[in-house]
Amino acid sequence: MRVFKFGGASVKDADGIKNVYDVLQKVGFEDVLLVVSAMGKTTNALEEVIKNYFEKSAELNSSVQEVKKYHNQIVMDLFEDEKNEVFAAINAQFSDLEYFLAHNKSPNYNFVYDQIVSYGELISTTILSHFMSFMGIQTQWVDVRNLIKTDANYRDAELDWSLTQTNISKNIKRKILNITQGFLGSDENNFTTTLGREGSDYTAAIFAYCLNAESVTIWKDVPGVMNADPRYFENASLLNQISYREAIELAFYGATVIHPKTLQPLQKKEIPLYVKSFINPLLKGTSVAKGVDLEPYLPCFIVKRNQLLISLSSIDFSFIMEENISEIFGLFHQFKLKVNLIQNSAISFSVCVEDKFDNFNALNALLSKKFKVDFSENVTLYTIRHFNDQAAQTVEENKTVLLKQVSRETMQVVIKEN
């Protein structure tokens, strides 16, 4: 079996859905499992619904209607007959969403987030599944929440591998096209959980691992894995082949083409990963597999914006020792700040972190009791794998460098954009 993952950009409108069908016609669809994300910017739109829900905003209903209008237009563009059962299926899902908004009693933001945001994937896969059937392809729509089981750490759930393996082995049919949702799972009480933002790649890897898949293909709007994001760098080049190890390094530092959790289960079973273009599906793209990278190495640029640079120093000029660092990292873990760079001296300790849950103010209140805390918001972290002088100059030129760290293979620079 082959596992294909299609992200939101590939199914953002009716033409995108039709293109997925065309891709499958070219590369084959028998014995294939599709993992599909929410359409376009639907996750962002549902986050706005969540915001309005908690703020008891008068805009709540209109924000839900915007999401509904967006999807209904796609369905109208795909199906001429309004009696097609897809219309009832989509309306039923929106009714479930509205019922939850009206009757939920939980004040837990992360719980509510997962219950609401999941409708993006559920609706997109329902539309895609009905369209494939309409076009004559036999499909099985699979509710991934019945298969991928997790703990109750909402928004960043951990997998129960054993139970997930059993469920997937029993429920995925061979020789037909299976369609399921990325990003989602459920806990022991069958409440929806999510695997972390952009977790659909990870979902594809979970299915591949459990099914001993032939391969995983991530379909993107770029030719494959590039050595730099074309949005930020001119003359970005395609990496034809990279090893699991190099891909894991790139993912660790924040390369967005491949999700960090995706590679480990694939590497364990040596399942190759392909990153290919849904615009030109017959091009080779990038292969990630066991073996040696193509050389010479190109410098690879990774950009992480909206970072927070925190510098801690001891109030009494005493050394910051292992026990202090252990306590600090315990707090980072508690407040869910992701650390992307560390640098320390005798009496100071600096970290570049990502505060995706907006917990820094609460953390700062605790840190300030023991340390002098300085911080810079909205900084950018540049990472260059296989850097050279020219690559370093490209990043640093005409910018204010706040922190720089260099190792044998990797250079990281925290910059305040001028």
Complete domains list, the chain, with CATH: 2-213 (3.40.1160.10), 300-416 (3.30.2130.10)
pLDDT of residue 316: 79
pLDDT of residue 418: 67
pLDDT of residue 293: 65
Q: Is 2 within any annotated ligand binding site?
A: no
What gap in Å lies between CA 266 and CA 254, rounded to an integer? Answer: 19
Q: Is 409 within any annotated ligand binding site?
A: no
pLDDT of residue 249: 86
Beta-bridged to residue 385, according to DSSP, are 300, 410
Q: Is 7 within any annotated ligand binding site?
A: yes
Pair 244, 288: CB distance under 8 Å: yes
Let me know if 371 is exposed, middle or buried by CB neighbors in 10 A (0-12, 13-18, 19+): buried
Pair 248, 308: CB distance under 8 Å: no
pLDDT of residue 258: 79
| DSSP secondary structure, 110-167, as one string | HHHHHHHHTHHHHHHHHHHHHHHHHTT--EEEE-GGGT-BB-S-TTSPPB-HHHHHHH
pLDDT of residue 255: 79
Sorted by sequence, the CB contacts under 8 Å of residue 155 that are 6+ apart come out as 110, 113, 114, 193, 194, 196, 357
Q: Is 121 within any annotated ligand binding site?
A: yes
Q: Is 8 within any annotated ligand binding site?
A: yes
**pLDDT tens-place values along the chain, 418 residues long:** 999 999 999 999 999 999 999 999 999 999 999 999 999 999 999 999 999 999 999 999 999 999 999 999 999 999 988 889 999 999 999 999 999 999 999 999 999 999 999 999 999 999 999 999 999 999 999 999 999 999 999 999 999 999 999 999 999 999 999 999 999 999 999 999 999 867 899 999 999 999 999 999 999 998 999 999 888 888 889 999 999 888 888 888 887 767 778 999 999 999 999 999 999 999 999 999 988 665 567 899 999 999 999 999 888 777 777 888 899 999 999 999 999 999 988 778 899 999 988 999 999 999 999 899 999 999 999 999 999 999 999 999 989 999 999 998 899 999 997 6
